[in-house]
Amino acid sequence: MNLRELRYLVALAEHLHFGRAAEACNITQSTLSTQLRKLEGYLGQTLIDRQSTPMSLTPIGAQILEKARKVLQEADDILAITRKRASPLSGPLVLGIIPTLAPYYLPQLLNTVDKAFPDLRLVIQEGQTAELCARLENGLIDAAILALPTPLAGLTQPADASGCSPRHCDRCEAAVQGLPAPLDTRQYALSLLFDEPFRVALPGNHPLARGDQTPVTIADIDDLDLLLLSDGHCLRGQAMAICGQRAQQFADAALDCSATSLETLLQLIAAGRGWTLLPALAAPRADASRVKVLNLQGNHFRRLGLVWQRNSSRDTGLRLLAERLALSSRQSPELAPPSPYPHAQCRPLHTAAPPPQSPAIHKRIADKPAPQSVFLAPENDFR
């Protein structure tokens, strides 16, 4: 029995699918299956119920899984201690990042890391929010860059006097992010990185595309269908939240057209199928001859932050990384430093002040879930 086999068991428990677990471990499915059978042979116990649908662990397998997670955490801590003596940021660091940010932010991120931390080797894992949260909880990644709750990046929730129910408010809660469970502020730390404004992308032959650069409103483009990413993407929920009262109308119209990437959405827009809300970093990817990108009237943006476990042995290094990433984002014209949200009626969620330089986040799934067209599938996205 070795640590690698235990990591494979943890990965399988997370994905409940041999193919996806093998992909997450960067090995073939046959290798994963062979190594797990080897582990079962060594222990003399069947850990995996391969006949159930979906696949599950046996009772003894579930017990061993909990022990395996603890063993792997201790092993990672031992390795981190040795690295910390040389540098708080050296060796491999597994970083998760959501797919609507990764292709557009990675060049800047990697350039920053290469210059500031030459001994650090980033291992990038792209995934939707819920998936990254599960990996973070299971210790499979060190940190994740995620889109944070609105309107106050998880730091506040609506006061009773605001008119919003304290138990459910799409505008103020994390429901639009599709979180599978709350992020406990006592367990997780967060460092804000930057705000990314939303733009409007519409067909190049639309009447608004031939006008000036005056910011548009949602009402200005009522004649077009809203194109959305498929369930599981936090950007889908954010777009629906911004559309407000028109959200369900747009969702119904978009049921026959849900893309899995922003690149696909841009191609659909170029073909005249509709419009979408586009994060600013993705705007340069639009084909200027067929897609017009305009500013959206109002202060609409998503907030990105670095999230990690508070008890991580790499806490010091991750704070340094977040500080450097936030500083480098100031050089990008598309991004802005995190700024206060305009909702004055919101109050602090916790009375205790968060630790310095690490504003706490609290993500809560409402008792009454958001509409299916808005809520992100658990398989893929956690803010």
Q: Is residue 237 part of a domain?
A: yes
Shortest CA distance to 121 belongs to which of 152, 87, 153?
Answer: 87
The verdict on 149 and 274 lying in the same domain is: no
Q: Is residue 39 part of a domain?
A: yes
Instruction: Report residue 48 as tokens.
Output: 């995996």
Give the helix/strand (H/E) hosting 48. Answer: strand 48-49
Q: Is residue 355 part of a domain?
A: no
End-to-end CA distance of the chain: 36
Better pLDDT: 375 or 88: 88
Shortest CA distance to 33 belongs to which of 47, 45, 44, 43?
Answer: 47
Q: Is residue 353 part of a domain?
A: no
Alpha-carbon gap, residue 249 to 233, rounded angstroms: 19
The verdict on 154 and 97 lying in the same domain is: yes
Compute how many other C-beta atoms are within 10 angstroms of the C-beta atom of residue 263.
13
The verdict on 339 and 258 lying in the same domain is: no
Q: Is residue 72 part of a domain?
A: yes
Q: What is the CA radius of gyration of the chain?
A: 22
Mean pLDDT, to the nearest integer, of 318-325?
Answer: 94
Structure confidence at residue 246 (pLDDT) = 56
Whether 203 and 209 have beta carbons less than 8 Å apart is answered as yes
The verdict on 156 and 14 lying in the same domain is: no
β-partners of residue 277 are 200
Q: Is residue 152 part of a domain?
A: yes
**Angle at the Cα of 320 from the Cα atoms of 318 and 325, rounded to 5 degrees:** 95
Q: Is residue 375 part of a domain?
A: no
pTM equals 0.63
The verdict on 257 and 343 lying in the same domain is: no
Mean pLDDT, to the nearest integer, of 153-158?
Answer: 37
Better pLDDT: 125 or 353: 125
- Main-chain phi, psi angles of 120, to 5 degrees: -90, 135
Instruction: Summarize pLDDT for 326-365 with one digit per residue, the tens.
Output: 999 999 998 988 876 544 333 333 323 333 333 333 333 2
Whether 120 and 89 have beta carbons less than 8 Å apart is answered as yes
Domains identified in the chain, total number: 3
The verdict on 180 and 112 lying in the same domain is: yes
pLDDT band at 312 (very low <50, low <70, confident <90, very high): confident
Q: Is residue 187 part of a domain?
A: yes
Shortest CA distance to 66 belongs to which of 13, 115, 104?
Answer: 13
- Structural domain that includes position 267: 199-295
Q: Lowest-pLDDT range, 46-50, 89-93, 183-187?
A: 183-187
The verdict on 276 and 127 lying in the same domain is: no
Instruction: Report residue 14 as tokens.
Output: 């997370």
